[in-house]
Amino acid sequence: MKVLESISFLPAPRLPRSAHRPSPVLSLLRRRLADWLLLSSMLFTMLYGALAQAALPIEHWTTAGGARVYFVRADAIPMLDVNIDLDAGARFDPRGREGLASLTQAMLSRGTDTLDEAAIAEAFARIGAQRGGGVGDDRTSLSLRTLTSEAELRQAVSLLTAIIARPSFPANVLAREKERVTQAIRESESKPETIVQRTFGRLLYPQHPYGDYNTVESINAISRDDLVAFHKSFYGARRAVVSMIGAITRQQAEAIAEQLTAGLPPGDGPTSVAPVERLTRGIEQRIDHPATQSHILIGQPAIARGDADFFPLFVGNYVLGGGGFVSRLYNEVREKRGLAYSVYSYFAPQLQPGPFTVGLQTQKEQTDVALGVVRETLTTFLRNGPTAAELRAAKDNLIGGFPLRIDSNRKILDHLSLIGFYRLPLDYLDRWTERVEAVTLEQVRAAFARHVQLDTMVTVVVGAGTPGSAPAGAGGAPAAPGAAAGGRVQAGTDAAPSRSSAGAR
């Protein structure tokens, strides 16, 4: 599909009367080419439509070194997409060295035992391969897209193998990267969207790494030895999940997975952190800021990935604030009262309970009114749940839109990574629409009652403060020192928009 999307079907330029007419053979060839392109487009559409209705053929096995592999063969285009997810997320950052997981991942492509960063970039460009990645609370990810022709595939996999298994972490490049990250942090310290996100995270998770963020001080404290030790402890094969989709055979996929993970270090670091503690009281914190609008976040830790209440919460939240223009929050806050341009809510399940969040921006003088409407809407929803008509409409929209969730190799790969890393059932996608359809009104009410409690909500407002509010600044609010820069990538689909920014983990 990506190949076809890059083709522009433009009208042919008008030729002058004196121009020669094309030969009959050339005209025939052009018509045949146009017919082939149209047929190919129809076939790709039919392919992904069929995947949405039929079982997704996920193959799963474990490598000799213990890496879990998830593979879907897709021969429509000569491409391979690979994702490697490692249990090496930011939750393992040592106190005082927040940002270590992100710096380690960023430095992987800055040099290997035989290549410097320029040679690595040139090698990927020469074969037309694309490399990416990111770091979230739970996992570190690396991605690769390459042609499946023999030479290009071999070189791309060899390059990715060298990057992940044999990084050199050159000291001079590390110094440059640290300067880049700290500069990004400083630049973001006064931004209201950053202040509200970091303050909110720290108040939700006051004694847990999910609430920790990198600072100028923590980045400056990181040394090359820290990167080497983190890589050795957390980049092991037993901590890896390899997801692949593309035009290769099962035998090729097995060989690629073995090559990518065979040379990884022991990876014998810890595999868990302290559990998330539930909040016992509500907190509201306001921070004065010169911005014209107040940035508002409301929420609490709510649900872990794999919880049986996921689908009732997911469908119910579509009615509450996840359905955009058709959600209750949007209707009450924007349509009826014009208090905000957008308002939303989401659940972000993680290995440990991730947040339920309501977010909006409003004019500073309307802050209290907007907060009142949001709280009233949330209270009514928690008391009564959705109506039968709202639930039916939510199901229809989610089920009808499901094909768009898997209409490209990249989207399917994201789901494979989610299934693999969080150990979801192999039929997770096959039964997705069935699980949505099975949600009842009673299940929505009961699930929200279990996971969302109004009396323990955290509310953070950056903009319109009160006489006792803290001024916005480099340290954020007093109760959340350093809560003023960056963000973190929120891994996963079905749930939350990502929380990311420059210089963040």
Joined together, the tokens standing for residue 393 give: 């409409």
Inter-residue contact 162 to 115 (CB < 8 Å): yes
For the chain, how far is it from start to end, CA to CA, in angstroms?
A: 31
Residue 498 has pLDDT above 70, yes or no: no
Residue 55 has pLDDT above 50, yes or no: yes
Inter-residue contact 113 to 166 (CB < 8 Å): yes
Cα separation of 371 and 376, whole Å? 8
Q: What is the pLDDT of residues 44-54, one digit of tens each?
A: 444 444 444 44
Inter-residue contact 283 to 350 (CB < 8 Å): no
Joined together, the tokens standing for residue 207 give: 């004694």
Q: Classify residue 193 by burial, with Cβ atoms within 10 Å: 0-12, 13-18, 19+.
A: middle
Q: What strand order describes the sheet that includes 130-135?
A: 59-62, 68-73, 240-246, 79-86, 140-147, 130-135
Question: Could you count the other beta carbons within 10 Å of the beta carbon of residue 304?
Answer: 17
Helix ranges, 305-400 (H): 310-317, 328-329, 367-384, 388-400
What does the pLDDT read at residue 472? Answer: 52
Inter-residue contact 421 to 241 (CB < 8 Å): yes
Cα separation of 408 and 45, whole Å? 10
Greatest distance between any 2 Cα atoms in the chain: 84
Joined together, the tokens standing for residue 338 give: 């014009």
Specify the long-range contacts of residues 148-155, CB closer than 8 Å, at least 24 apart.
Answer: 148/78, 148/79, 148/80, 148/246, 148/247, 148/248, 149/78, 151/127, 152/127, 152/128, 153/80, 153/248, 155/123, 155/127, 155/129
Residue 419 has pLDDT above 80, yes or no: yes
Lowest mean pLDDT among 41-45, 201-205, 413-417, 495-499: 495-499
Lowest mean pLDDT among 68-82, 150-164, 328-342, 464-478: 464-478
Inter-residue contact 164 to 262 (CB < 8 Å): no
Q: Compute the Cα dihedral for 219, 220, 222, 227 and give only its sign.
A: positive
Full-model pTM: 0.82
What does the pLDDT read at residue 470? Answer: 52
Q: Classify residue 483 by burial, with Cβ atoms within 10 Å: 0-12, 13-18, 19+.
A: buried
Q: What angle (nearest 5°) sits at the alpha carbon of residue 114, between those of residues 88 and 130?
A: 60
DSSP string, 89-110: -GGGPPTT-TTHHHHHHHHGGG
Cα separation of 260 and 84, whole Å? 9
Residue 404 has pLDDT above 80, yes or no: yes
Q: What is the pLDDT of residues 240-274, one digit of tens each?
A: 999 999 999 999 999 999 999 999 999 999 999 99
